[in-house]
Amino acid sequence: MKVIPSIAQWRAEYSQLKKEDFQCKIGFVPTMGYLHDGHLSLVKEARKECDVVVMSIFVNPLQFGENEDFDRYPRDLERDKALAREHGVDYLFVPDVNEMYPQHPLTSVSVSTITEVMCGASRPGHFTGVATVVTKLFNIIQPDYAYFGLKDAQQVAVIQQMVKDLNIPVTIKPCPIVREKDGLAMSSRNVYLSEEERKQALYLYKSLREAKALVEGGERNTDRIKTRMENMLRSQPLIEIDYIDIRSFPELKSLESLHGLKGQVIVAVAVKIGRTRLIDNVIIDMEGGN
C-alpha cells in the first residue's frame, strides 16, 4: 500500500496506472478516518469489483458547523494505515487541510431541496461542505466507482443527485449499514458514548425495527408510526430527539401515508445523547404498493 499525502503525487501515480493499463478500474472509498468495520466493508466491495482500490482519509472542516465536533473528531492515522493495508487498500490518500484548501475556497457545490430536510434542516451548510469536498475528491482521484455506506442514506442521495446533475463520470455504489452485534450502527462517533449512553443508543435501532414491523404488518399512517417511535425513544432519559422522518427514497419526498406507494421508503432518526449526535435508518421496499 502506498500512502499519498499530496494531490500532485496521486496524479503522478494515476498517470502511471493508466499508462500501464488504461482500462484498469479504480474503486474509491472516501472516509474521515478512525476506521471501523463499516468502512472496511466498503473496501471489501471495492476489492471485488475493481483493479485498484483508493481510500481517502480527510476530516473535512467545511461539513462541520459551529459548535460541532471537528476539533475532537477521533483521529488515529497509524491505526488507520494498518487497517487499510490489512484489508487490501492499494493507495491511501491522506491530504492535510492546507493541501485540500490552500486558501478558503470561493467555489462551493450546493444541492438543493433534498439537503433542506432531515439532517440538512438541523445542520445548515453541512451538505454543501460534503458535496464540495466529494466533488474535489472525485476530480482528484478520478475513480470509476465510489463506495458509500447507507448509514448516512441522505448523504448517498445527495451525492447520487450531484453526480447525475453535474455529469460526473463515476458510478456511486451504496452499501448496507454494518452494525455491532447488539444492533448499534457502526460510527466513528460511537467512541464518545459512555456505557449508559451506549445502552440507551440501542433504542435508535429498536425504534426503527418497530417502524419496519408496523409497515410490514400493514400500518400505512406515517404519523402513527412516528408516534410509536417517539414514545420508544422518549422512554430513555438521555435521548434528545432531533428528528424522526419517513420519506420516499432516494427522492426524500415527505409522506403522510404509505397507501399505494411503490418503490423504497426510508425511516430515519437522528438524536443527541450527551454530546454525541447519532443517526440511523431503515430502508423498506414497498412491493406492489399495497
Long-range contacts of the stretch 275-280 (C-beta < 8 A, 24+): 275/69, 275/192, 276/189, 276/192, 276/193, 276/197, 277/189, 277/242, 278/185, 278/187, 278/189, 278/190, 278/201, 278/204, 279/119, 279/151, 279/152, 279/185, 280/151, 280/177, 280/185, 280/204, 280/205, 280/208
The pTM for the full model equals: 0.95
CATH number at residue 103: 3.40.50.620
Cell 438541523: give the residue: 122
The pLDDT score that the predictor gives to residue 289 is: 47
Looking at the 3D structure of the chain, how many domains does it have?
Answer: 2
- β-pairing, 276-286 with 263-273? antiparallel
The pLDDT score that the predictor gives to residue 148 is: 98
In a domain, residue 290? The reply is no
Distance CA 52, CA 80 (A): 18
Residues 168 and 199 grouped into a single domain: no
Residues 154 and 249 grouped into a single domain: no
Residues 210 and 247 grouped into a single domain: yes
Cite the annotated binding site for beta-alanine by residue number: 63
In a domain, residue 182? The reply is no
Cβ(28)–Cβ(146) below 8 Å: yes
* Residues annotated as catalytic (active site), given as ranges: 39
Across 260-269, b (16+ Cβ under 10 Å) vs e yields ebeeebbbbb
The pLDDT score that the predictor gives to residue 288 is: 52
Residues 220 and 159 grouped into a single domain: no
Residues 15 and 103 grouped into a single domain: yes
Handedness of CA 231, 235, 212, 252 (dihedral sign): positive
Cite the annotated binding site by residue number: 32-39, 63, 149-152, 155, 178, 186-189
The pLDDT score that the predictor gives to residue 290 is: 44
Q: Could you list the mean pLDDT of each consecutive 10-residue stretch along the chain, which spans 290 residues?
A: 98 96 96 97 98 98 92 96 98 98 96 97 96 98 98 98 98 98 95 96 98 96 98 98 98 95 96 96 80
Residues 22 and 140 grouped into a single domain: yes
Residues 18 and 79 grouped into a single domain: yes
Residues 132-160: pLDDT tens digits? Answer: 999 999 999 999 999 999 999 999 999 99
Residues 193 and 254 grouped into a single domain: yes
CATH number at residue 272: 3.30.1300.10
Residues 156-206: pLDDT tens digits? Answer: 999 999 999 999 999 999 999 999 999 999 999 999 999 999 999 999 999
Chain centroid to CA 231 = 27
In a domain, residue 180? The reply is no
In a domain, residue 289? The reply is no
Give the residue numbers spanning the domain of 261: 188-283
Residues 36 and 143 grouped into a single domain: yes
Residues 238 and 131 grouped into a single domain: no
